[in-house]
Structure 1
């Protein structure tokens, strides 16, 4: 019998999100649990949000109306925070997904985590570090856009140069340290533990940020690690060790 999935509350800031990410967003959230509540906040009388209409209908996202009473004041953020606290106090959820690139949700994320719930943040790469660090895990929405949209963007924008992973000293140090911190006396470490260790330190870390779908692919491309598989469990387990560690058994 499979384990019960986590119940998640998904709260989207329409002013700081785009409808083209919605399919990838919901697919990503499905990796962490079930979206029991899906709400999106904004002033729906504003024509700037009209692009969300089809996305809301197709994916069953409930629009929450918040009029912009005063210019320069973000009433949407306030409404979203109040709703989040109401849902938190109801104690019906295991975690929250906050979709925004706004630092105003930093304290909200911290408060939810203080209550023992998991916070998944979703936003653009321009999102302030304070909000990303306040989440258990933060995913860049640029990584969630569909292939069709990406192909269109490639035709419109000049192609960015591929990052040379071997020259990224900070990344290599992060990977090595995570393996060292989680390894046993033989130097081997469970790949899943390595990934969790990195995210615990750097919530916004994601192999997709470097052009790889999985952590295994990213680490393998550096040519700094060796791998082995253990098929003694129902699911295949992958272990990793730094190649420099030749003194291990």
Structure 2
């Protein structure tokens, strides 16, 4: 039997590939993660438009230059009109609205840690488009919650030291342990306490009458109520790794899919029964 990689990641299946516009705020994004970021975008659809906005005559934007041609990212030069004012934000928002009204896109990827783009994310959602946000952990909560899915760019950094697994200790702290499940460098991200209460409450709302939830259904519900939830923050590459590694909280069961060789992972609360 072949076991499918059960997780909360989007599945392409037989659906047409989503056309995405990737808009990058050079003033509030880091060039070091762009390769991994574009790979992440590919999980959701095709980046048919790739644009970056900033003042590329500024030393602060110099790190972007070597990535632009390599990844076919179109730079939009924006000089500052006056000291202390960010003209880049306005240029990016105006361009996003122009692209929106072409009706050629299924979604937008907004790469920024700036809360000034919250209104843009809300407007895009109102038009029925998918909004994926990418930013650092410092990104304000309103912008994160305005996106359908928000990915912390810290989890996209290439690990340069031993990876770790989120094992709970007294007081909810995270204890570092060698593990194949993590792809996040410990030094690159601040790990919050393990969200046991949140996960169990979400699972309770995802289960069927028998108390079981398809892992995909569980993952989709987690994303809807907390767009920035990401198992990688807690040291797990996939949601399936997280639930399997916490038998004190979750019971899991693989079920065969009719007319296929794949198995689907189901999860329920471990009640000890």
Please give the TM-score of this superposition, normalised by the length of structure 1: 0.89
Matches of 2:110 and 2:164, distance apart in 1 = 31
Change in CA separation of 1:161 and 1:143 when aligned onto 2, cut-off 3 Å: closer
Matches of 1:162 and 1:242, distance apart in 2 = 21
Matches of 2:85 and 2:154, distance apart in 1 = 27
Matches of 1:48 and 1:108, distance apart in 2 = 25
For these two proteins, the number of residue pairs brought into alignment is 237
Q: Deviations over 1:58-81 (max 9, x none)?
A: 110000111111111110000000
Question: Secondary structure at 2:236's aligned position in 1?
Answer: coil
How many Å apart are 1:48 and its aligned residue? Answer: 1.6
Q: Deviations over 1:100-129 (max 9, x none)?
A: 000000000000001111100000000000
Aligned with residue 70 of structure 2, among 34, 58, 61: 58
Aligned with residue 219 of structure 1, among 233, 238, 243: 243
Corresponding position: 1:182 with 2:209: no
Quote the residue 1:203 is aligned against.
227
Change in CA separation of 1:91 and 1:165 when aligned onto 2, cut-off 3 Å: farther
Quote the residue 2:130 is aligned against.
118
Matches of 2:225 and 2:194, distance apart in 1 = 13
Matches of 2:263 and 2:66, distance apart in 1 = 40
Where in structure 2 are the equivalents of 1:87-102 lying within 5 Å? 87-102=99-114
Contact 1:165 1:222 (8 Å CA) reproduced: no
Change in CA separation of 1:160 and 1:24 when aligned onto 2, cut-off 3 Å: closer
Corresponding position: 1:242 with 2:269: yes
Q: Deviations over 1:6-50 (max 9, x none)?
A: 000000000111111011100100000000100000011112211
Aligned with residue 191 of structure 1, among 193, 215, 219: 215
How many Å apart are 1:163 and its aligned residue? Answer: 5.1
Q: Deviations over 1:151-188 (max 9, x none)?
A: 1xx5xxxx999754365487111211222111111111
Quote the residue 1:231 is aligned against.
256
Contact 2:243 2:252 (8 Å CA) reproduced: no
How many Å apart are 1:2 and its aligned residue? Answer: 3.2
| Structure number with higher helix proportion | 1
Quote the residue 1:171 is aligned against.
195
Aligned-residue RMSD, C-alpha: 2.0
Quote the residue 1:82 is aligned against.
94
Higher relative contact order (CA 8 A, sep 6+): 2
Please give the TM-score of this superposition, normalised by the length of structure 2: 0.82
Contact 2:133 2:150 (8 Å CA) reproduced: yes
Quote the residue 1:9 is aligned against.
21
Q: Unaligned 5+ residue runs, structure 1?
A: none
Contact 1:187 1:245 (8 Å CA) reproduced: no
